[in-house]
Amino acid sequence: MLVLLLPLHGIGGRGDLPVPLWLAIYSAGAAVAVSFFALAAFWSRPRFEVTAGKSLDRLTRLVDARPTRWLLKLAGLAALALLLGSAWFGSSEPDLNPAPTWLYVWIWVGIIPLSLVFGPIWRLANPLRTIAGFAPRTSYRKLPEGIAYWPAVAGLAGFLWLELAYPDGSESIVVAIFATMYAGVNVAAGIVYGPAWFGIGDSFEVYAEVLARLSPIGRGTDRRLELRNPLAGLATVPQHPGIVGLLCLLLGSTAFDGISRWSAWTRLTGDLSRTQHIVVHMLGLMAAVAIVTGLFLLASRTTGAARIRPGVVGRAGLPGAFVHSLVPIAIGYAVAHYFSFAMFQGQEGLLLATDPFGRGWDLLGTSGMRIDYAFLSTGFIAGVQTGAIVLGHVLGVVSAHDRAAELFRRRQLRRAQYPMLAAMVAFTAGGIALVTGS
């Protein structure tokens, strides 16, 4: 019914910008720079650190009610059962088994709009957390010192390697093995270390929680749901080295995804053997992550050349202080790279759901239907890609400036941020070039 998943990440948008590439890059960079100088002129005090939202008491009671909690848990368990069932027992043909699409599109890409719209809902439906909770325990082992978030970074690195470097990542048996191993490791850790494990060790939950910080719905200090300025929620992203690693990994992997679809890259790697393919793509992925990480660390630490107010920087230093500004950038990159993939391949997940186990069923009445590639024009896709990158970077500049207003005295505020501005402009130009290059 359809070719393999991975080559479809950028379908329908590459090289189709309604304006020349050089003009798009210059315009986007200028938009980021103009935003910065406008903020420097009119925004001299932090506004998000002390912003309180409007309490949503009725919604809090509804979400925290036992029937709602169990409904979300059952939905999560059913989704996991369907994913594992179709992966293990469905068709062995990648284009006939919905499990790869469900994992790479519905779950991995779907986490973004789900978390942005509904806030911290993933942890309520997380089936791994639910399964671990079924094990009767009276006490849990204490999490090791300094481990926070690094298990999630390691798990995410494994998933991204499977998606971007392993040539058979879209095979249903590969998805089955990965999903089973991932679930088993996290459930076992959740039984040993308790519910606290999932907030630092489950890559998908940690990723969803970070994204949810940019949602207009979040939990206040009293644990009630509140309607807030999304950038105020963004300011609460934990200042931890593991979060820095997580977001740099996301940005670097998305950059490599764009590079790996350039015609120059495919020409150079098209004749490689299986082993060579894995090695070259893994090294490319590592190099892209290293470059993005190095650029962010250099920019954030160079920002520290200005005098910082005492007592306002946490254990992660300046990279941790500014890491929250990478969240909208990561979202913008993800939308740019996965938008067309989700719009088209996402349809395949629904069409194949009519026969999840390869039994010849037609549960949804969609047998024989095909993906509609015509409902979005390539120009529209290119516009979404460019707009997502620019908006993500503008929001990143705003959030970074607000944090800088807290860290630096007013007379140092503009000069202190020049390194971060340079990094933002570079990320913007590079992101547009990656999604539109050929």
Structure tokens of 356?
């999840």
CB proximity list for 64: less than 8 A, separation 6 or greater:
none
Q: Say what percent of the chain tops pLDDT 70.
A: 90
Among the listed residues 1, 225, 7, 261, the one whose alpha carbon sits nearest the alpha carbon of residue 118: 225
Alpha helix positions (H), 223-325? 230-234, 241-259, 263-269, 274-303, 317-322
**Residues 6 or more apart in contact with residue 395 via CB below 8 angstroms:** 231, 234, 328, 329
Residue that wins the pLDDT comparison between 78 and 375: 78
Give the 3-state secondary structure percentages of the chain, helix then strand then coil, rounded to 5. 65, 0, 30
Of the candidate ranges 17-21, 68-72, 124-128, 325-329, the one whose mean pLDDT is the lowest = 17-21
Indicate whether 220 pLDDT > 90.
Answer: no
| Three-class secondary structure of residue 218 per DSSP | strand
Average pLDDT over residues 182-186: 97
Stated pTM of the model? 0.90
Q: Which two tokens stand for residue 263?
A: 């015609």
Average pLDDT of the chain is 86
pLDDT category of residue 276 using cuts at 50, 70 and 90: very high
Residue 307's pLDDT band (cuts 50, 70, 90): low
Strand partners, 54: 227
A 10 A CB-CB count for 306 gives 19
Q: Tell me the pLDDT band of 20, cut-offs 50, 70 and 90.
A: low
CA within 13 Å, CB half, 45: 3
Mean pLDDT of 241-254: 94
Among the residue ranges 24-33, 301-310, 404-413, the one predicted with the least confidence is 301-310
